[in-house]
Amino acid sequence: MRALVRITAAGAVLALALSLAGLLAGEPAWSREEKAILRDLRLTRGPLAPDPSNRYAASEDAAELGGQLFFDRRFSSNGTVACATCHVPDRYFQDGLPLSKGVGTTGRRTMPIAGVASSPWFFWDGRKDSLWSQALGPLESPVEHGGDRAQYVLLLATHYRRDYERVFGAFPELFGVPPHASPGGTKEARAAWQRMTPGQQDAVNRVFANIGKAIAAYERRIQPRSARFDHYVDAVVAGDSVGANGILSRDERAGLRLFIGKGDCIRCHNGPLLTNNDFANVGTPVRSGLPADRGRMEGARQVMQDEFNCLSSYSDALPSQCGELRHIHVDARSLRQYKVPSLRNVADHAPYMHAGQLATLEAVVEHYNRAPASPTGESEIKPLGLSVKERKQLVLFLATLSAPLATEPVPGAVSLQ
Amino acid sequence: MKPALRHSLVAILALVALPACVGPGPEADASTTRISRAGLFEVSYTSTVTPVPKRALHSWTLQVHTRDGHPVTDARIRVEGGMPQHGHGLPTAPVVRAGPGDGLYVLEGMKFNMGGYWVVDLVITSPEGNDDVRFELNL
C-alpha cells in the first residue's frame, strides 16, 4: 500500500513537474475558461440539425436520388455541368479556384459544403435559408448550370421518374409544359413561363423544389470528421496533458492559444464547425473585374423575397419554425458582410475569401493582422500585432483542423475528377 | 507522504495555479431578475432553453411587474443589446409579444453567436410609465 502511495505521489509530482516545465518554458496550462472554449470548438457527433422546411431531409431514398442528381451533368444548359463540377468530392467538395466555373464564370468562390446542413444561411451573402433552396440557385444561374426549371423537371420525369415517385409520390401531369421555361431565365424562357397556366407553374415549381430537397438530403450526409485538434482537446479535457502534447506540436499549441486569444479568431470562428454561421465585414479587398458587391445587404433582401424560402408554399415548415427568416437582422453594417465559413479542413481549401482574393492561409492571417479598411461599409476587425513567428504558429494550428470527410457512397455516382 | 515531498507538492501546486491565462472578460451580473433603470419595474426572464445556448435561436419569457408587485399589462417592449466590448449588436432582430398571462411577455428570436459577455436591453413603454432594464450574460 505504502509503495502504491509512493508511486502515485511520484506520478503526481512528475505530472506537476511537467506542467511546471511547460510553464517555465512559456507555455502555461489551459485555464478553466480556456478549456471551456476548447470544449466548445470540439467536433461532437450527434443527430444532424433538423430542417423542418424539408420533410425528406432524413430520407434514405431522397439522399440516394439527390446523390445521383448531384453528379448528373444533364442538369445543365450544355450537358457539361453538375453540382460536382464545382463541389468536387476528392477536393473536400470545392474546386480550388478563385471563382467558380460552370457554363460561365461566377463572381464568387465555391463554398465547401461539409457540415453546412447545420447552417441557417447559404451562399456567401446568405441569399438562401435552406440547403434545398440553395441547391436550386446554381441550377438556374446563367453562369453555373445555365438551364431552367421546366427543362430539369422534364429531365427528371424522363430519367428518374421511379426514383422520384418512391420519395415524393406521383409525378404531376406535365402535359403542355414547354421544354424551357422559368420566371427568371432567358427572355424566351420567361415568355414561355408566362404562357403556362398557374397550375402548370405550380406543378413545375413543386417538382423543382423536390429536386432541391433530394440534393439537400444527400448533401446533409457530407460531414467533417474529428481532426488532430479534436483529439488534442479530448486529451486536454481528460486531464492527459502528456498525451495531449504528443498530438499537437508546441507551435501548433501556441497557434491554438493565439486563435482563442490574441488573434480573436473565435469571435466569429466558434463552435464545432468553427463558424458562428453569421456574416462579417473583414475588409476583404475587391477582386478586379467583378461588379459592385453589397454582400449580406443584398443577400438579406433577396432571401426575404425568395420564392422558395422557409415561409413559401414550397417549404414544409410552419411559419413558427422559420425563426431565422422572421428575425433576420439587417442594417448599415450588413454592407459587404459575407458569411463566416467553417474552418474545418481550411488548409485544404485555398484560395480564400468570398472571391478567392487571398491565395494562401499565410496571406489570410496577414490580412487579419493588418486589418485594412473595407472597400465599402465598415470592417469589423482591428490590427492584431502578431509577430512573424505568431503568424506562422496560427497557420500551423489551422492545419490541425484537417481530416477526411465522412460521406456515404452513392450508388451510381462517379467522381468527375 | 513525507513532509518534504508534501511541501514540494504544495509549492509546485501553488506555482502551477498562479498564472491566469486568458481573462474571462468583464464579470457579468447574471441575475435574471433586475430593477429597471429609473426604478419603475421589476423585470425577470426565463430562457426556454437552459443554459442559454450559443448559436441557437430560442425564446425568453419575460415577467414585468411594478415595484409594488402589480403585473404590467399592455407594455410595448423593444429589444436591443449586443457585445459592448466588440462593438456589435445582436445577430437577430428579436421581437416581444404579449404572453399567456398578466405581466407576461414572450421574447422571440433571441440568439447569441459567440461566447463571452453580452447585454440585453429591454426598452419598456407602458401605461405605468417608460423605463428600460439591462440584463447581462456571460456565455
CATH classification at residue A263: 1.10.760.10
Task: State mean pLDDT over A256-268.
Answer: 96
Q: Which cell goes with A39? A: 470544449
Work out the number of other CB atoms within 10 angstroms of the CB of residue A271. Answer: 22
Cα–Cα distance measured from residue A2 to residue A157, given in angstroms and rounded to the nearest whole number: 80
Cα–Cα distance measured from residue A131 to residue A63, given in angstroms and rounded to the nearest whole number: 13
On whether residue A54 sits in a domain, the answer given is: no
Would the pLDDT of A415 be above 50? no
> pLDDT for A231-255, tens place per residue?
999 999 999 999 999 999 999 999 9
Task: State mean pLDDT over A321-346.
Answer: 97
Question: Is the domain of A99 the same as that of A207?
Answer: yes
Question: Is the domain of A296 the same as that of A160?
Answer: no
Question: Is the domain of A154 the same as that of A287?
Answer: no
On whether residue A154 sits in a domain, the answer given is: yes
B24 touches chain A (CB under 8 A): yes
Nearest to B93 among A20, A34, A327 (CB): A327
B17 touches chain A (CB under 8 A): no
**B1 contacts A9? CB cut-off 8 A:** yes
Task: State mean pLDDT over A39-67.
Answer: 92
Residue corresponding to grid cell 488548409: A347
Question: Is the domain of A135 the same as that of A240?
Answer: no
**B92 contacts A324? CB cut-off 8 A:** yes
**CA–CA min distance A249, chain B (Å):** 19
Question: Is the domain of A179 the same as that of A249?
Answer: no
Question: Is the domain of A112 the same as that of A258?
Answer: no
Measured between CA atoms, the residue of chain B closest to residue A20 is B16
Q: What is the dihedral of CA A347, A349, A352, A357, to 10 degrees?
A: 120
Chain A partners within 8 Å of B94 (Cβ): 327
Residue A310 half-sphere exposure toward CB, CA atoms < 13 A: 24
**B109 contacts A326? CB cut-off 8 A:** yes
CA distances from A266 to A41, A259, A273, A322 (A): 9, 7, 11, 27
Nearest to B55 among A19, A277, A333 (CB): A277
Question: Is the domain of A185 the same as that of A135?
Answer: yes
Whole-number pLDDT of residue B14 = 39
B14 touches chain A (CB under 8 A): no
> Three-state SS for A214?
helix
> pLDDT for A54-113, tens place per residue?
999 999 999 999 999 999 999 999 999 999 999 999 999 999 999 999 999 999 999 999
| Structural domain harbouring A159 | 60-219
**B55 contacts A276? CB cut-off 8 A:** yes
Contacts for A225 with CB less than 8 Å, ≥ 6 apart = A43, A403, A404, A405, A406
On whether residue A19 sits in a domain, the answer given is: no
Nearest to B114 among A23, A276, A324 (CB): A276
Would the pLDDT of A302 be above 60? yes
CA distances from A347 to A350, A361, A397, A417 (A): 7, 7, 10, 20
Q: Which residues of A touch B (CB under 8 A)?
A: 5, 9, 12-13, 16-17, 19-20, 23, 28-31, 33-34, 36-37, 40, 120, 257, 260-261, 266-268, 270-271, 276-278, 323-324, 326-329, 331, 333, 380
**B54 contacts A40? CB cut-off 8 A:** yes
Q: Could you tell me the pTM of the whole model?
A: 0.89
Chain A partners within 8 Å of B20 (Cβ): 31
Question: Is the domain of A247 the same as that of A154?
Answer: no
Task: State mean pLDDT over A358-362.
Answer: 98
Domain boundary among A184, A219, A254: A219
pLDDT bin (cut points 50, 70, 90) of residue A412 is very low
**CA–CA min distance A27, chain B (Å):** 10
B27-138 topology per CATH: Immunoglobulin-like (2.60.40)
Task: State mean pLDDT over A17-44.
Answer: 78
**B86 contacts A270? CB cut-off 8 A:** no
Whole-number pLDDT of residue B101 = 85
Q: Where are the domains of chain B?
A: 27-138
Chain B partners within 8 Å of A23 (Cβ): 15-16, 19
pLDDT bin (cut points 50, 70, 90) of residue A166 is very high
Whole-number pLDDT of residue A160 = 98
Chain B partners within 8 Å of A327 (Cβ): 57, 92-95, 108-109, 111
Nearest to A28 among B19, B94, B108 (CB): B19
On whether residue A5 sits in a domain, the answer given is: no
On whether residue A3 sits in a domain, the answer given is: no
**CA–CA min distance A36, chain B (Å):** 10
Question: Is the domain of A281 the same as that of A232?
Answer: yes
A353 contacts A281 by C-beta, under 8 angstroms: no
Could you tell me what percent of chain A has a pLDDT over 70?
91
Whole-number pLDDT of residue A4 = 45
**A34 contacts B19? CB cut-off 8 A:** no
Task: State mean pLDDT over A206-225.
Answer: 96
On whether residue A155 sits in a domain, the answer given is: yes
Question: Is the domain of A309 the same as that of A367?
Answer: yes
Cα–Cα distance measured from residue A365 to residue A362, given in angstroms and rounded to the nearest whole number: 5
Which DSSP string corresponds to A132-169?
Answer: HHHHHHHHH-TTTT---HHHHHHHHHHHSHHHHHHHH-
**CA–CA min distance A131, chain B (Å):** 17
On whether residue A388 sits in a domain, the answer given is: yes
**CA–CA min distance A148, chain B (Å):** 34
Mutate to test the interface with B, among A5, A33, A241, A318 (most CBs of B within 10 A): A33
Would the pLDDT of A411 be above 50? no
56-95 in B: which are within 8 Å (CB) of A?
A: 57, 86-95
Question: Is the domain of A143 the same as that of A181?
Answer: yes
Cα–Cα distance measured from residue A214 to residue A385, given in angstroms and rounded to the nearest whole number: 47
Query: Domains in chain A: how many in total?
Result: 2
Per-residue confidence of chain B (139 residues) as pLDDT tens digits? 444 445 544 444 433 333 333 444 567 888 999 999 999 999 999 999 999 999 999 999 999 999 999 999 999 999 999 999 888 899 999 999 999 889 999 999 999 998 889 999 999 999 999 999 999 999 9
Question: Is the domain of A86 the same as that of A118?
Answer: yes
Mutate to test the interface with B, among A276, A303, A334, A342 (most CBs of B within 10 A): A276
Cα–Cα distance measured from residue A36 to residue A343, given in angstroms and rounded to the nearest whole number: 19
